[in-house]
Amino acid sequence: MDAEITLHVDGRERTFTVDTRTTLLDALRDRLGNTSPKKGCDHGQCGACTVLVEGRRINSCLALAVAHDGATLTTAAGLADETDLHPMQRAFLDQDGFQCGYCTPGQICSAVGMLQEANAGHPSAVSTGDGPTGTPLNDEEIRERMSGNLCRCGAYVNIVAAINQAQQAAPQVRQES
């Protein structure tokens, strides 16, 4: 069965018809030609397909495109504006937060979404609950909150450094518990 949907992707409105079984990842890559989210496993296990939907990070391979009709999406290709990189992109570049680069667009979207979650007060499995949440996160928090994004090259050290740089650069938000 086909359905017509509209997605707002990286600042552009796109209306098109999809088979209702189409994942958001396939819709982005195959239908809209946005190949910045990558297909690493197609099972929600590697995080290479991570995009931001209404600012929240999701594995786009596990989402159906029709379930997000009308949604606003941001991919790594849309994070930068015309003139400059997003601070998270700049940080990955400065800290050499990648090797082969295949997981990188997903890592960056995930990191942006992760800091927003922390700023919104969402705890993680390692949050102690007896202090304020929000950014800046310590390394243990970053590692735990990013653990759904695999990097087979093992660039984790530099990715943590990049996220640290980005959260230092951005306005810090503290949620009082």
Partner 1 sequence: MNPFSSRPLAEIPDGSVAGVVMPHDAAWDHVTGKALYTDDLSHRFAHVLHAWPVQVFVAHARIDSLDAAAARTMPGVARVLTAADVPGINDYGELGDEPLFPDEVQFHGQAVAWVLADTLEQARLASEAIEVSYTELPSIITTQEAIAAGQFQGPRATLQRGDADAALATAPHRLSGGIDIQGQEHFYLETQASFATVDESGQVFIQSSTQAPSHTQEVAAQVLGIPSNQVTVQCLRMGGGFGGKETNANPYAAVAALGAVLTGRPVNVRLNRTQDLTMTGKRGGFHATWEAGLDDEGHIVAYKAVVTADGGFSVDLSPAVVSRALCHVDNAYYLPNVHVVGRIARTNKTSHTAFRGFGAPSGMIITEDLLGQAATKLGIGEEEIRRRNFYAPGQTTPYGQVVSQAGRMNDMWDKLKDTSDYDSRLLEVAAYNEAHRHSKRGLAITPVKFGVSFNKPVLNQAGALVLIYRDGSVLVNHGGTEMGQGLHMKMMQVAATALGLPLRRIRLAPTRTDKVPNTSATSASTGTDLNGGAVKNACEIILDRLAPVAAGLLGVNSHDVRITGDVVGALGTEQTVGWGELVETAYLQRVSLSATGYYRTEGIHFDPATYQGNAFKYYSRGVAVAEVEVDGFTGAYTTRRVDLLHDVGSSLSPLIDLGQIEGAFVQGAGWLTQEDLRWDTTEGPQRGKLLTQAASTYKLPSFSELPQVFNVDLYVHPTDDGSIYGSKAVGEPPLMLSIAVREALRAAAAAFGEPGQQVELPSPATAEAVYWALDQVRRPADTAAVAAD
45 binds partner 1 (CB under 8 A): yes
71 binds partner 1 (CB under 8 A): no
Q: Which stretch binds partner 1 (CB under 8 A): 63-71, 112-120, 129-137, 157-165?
A: 157-165
Rounded Cα distance, 75 and 9, in Å: 8
CB of 145 to partner 1, least distance (A): 9
Q: In what order do the strands lie in the sheet with 50-53?
A: 12-19, 2-9, 72-74, 50-53, 56-59
39 binds partner 1 (CB under 8 A): yes
CA 43, 100, 28, 77 dihedral sign is positive
CB of 105 to partner 1, least distance (A): 4
46 binds partner 1 (CB under 8 A): yes
User: Which residue's CB is nearer to partner 1, number 47 or number 134?
Assistant: 47
In DSSP terms, which residues pair with 17 in a beta bridge?
Answer: 4
CB of 156 to partner 1, least distance (A): 5
Residue 70 sits at φ, ψ, to 5 deg, of 90, -5
Amino acid at 127: S
Rounded Cα distance, 48 and 105, in Å: 7
Where does this chain bind partner 1 (CB under 8 A)? 29-30, 33, 35-43, 45-46, 48, 75-77, 79-80, 85, 89-90, 92-94, 96, 98-105, 108, 142-144, 146-160
